[in-house]
Amino acid sequence: MRFTVENPATHLDDERPSAARSGHALPMLLTVDEAATLLRTTRRAIYAMIEGRQPPGVIRIRRRVLFRADDLLHWLDQKRAPSPEE
């Protein structure tokens, strides 16, 4: 699945998540399926994470669940283990 964004210049500073710096363009809001693909997990796991209030940036619009891509990428970046070079 490829992600595209209408305005790729939404981040102008170097504080953006590493995936955004590497050229991967994401839409501002992700669906559950897109978040599952990004995290390489299942829809069921995403809903379990939402229920456990783990991922940030969850937006509920009636029955629809969306994720702020920037918040999810920042959270993911914070979760990574430091590499031996760091």
Domain 25-79 sits in CATH 2.60.40: no
Is the confidence at residue 54, as pLDDT, over 50? yes
Spatial CB neighbours of 72, under 8 Å, sequence gap ≥ 6: 30, 35, 38, 55, 56, 57
Domain ranges across the chain: 25-79
Quick: pLDDT tens for 20-52.
444 568 889 999 999 999 889 999 999 999 999
Determine how β-strand 58-61 pairs with β-strand 64-68. Answer: antiparallel
User: pLDDT category, 3, cuts 50, 70, 90?
Assistant: low
* Cα 23 from Cα 26, distance rounded (Å): 9
State residue 76's pLDDT score: 87
Average model confidence (pLDDT) for the chain? 78
Instruction: Using DSSP, state whether 30 is helix, strand or coil.
Output: strand
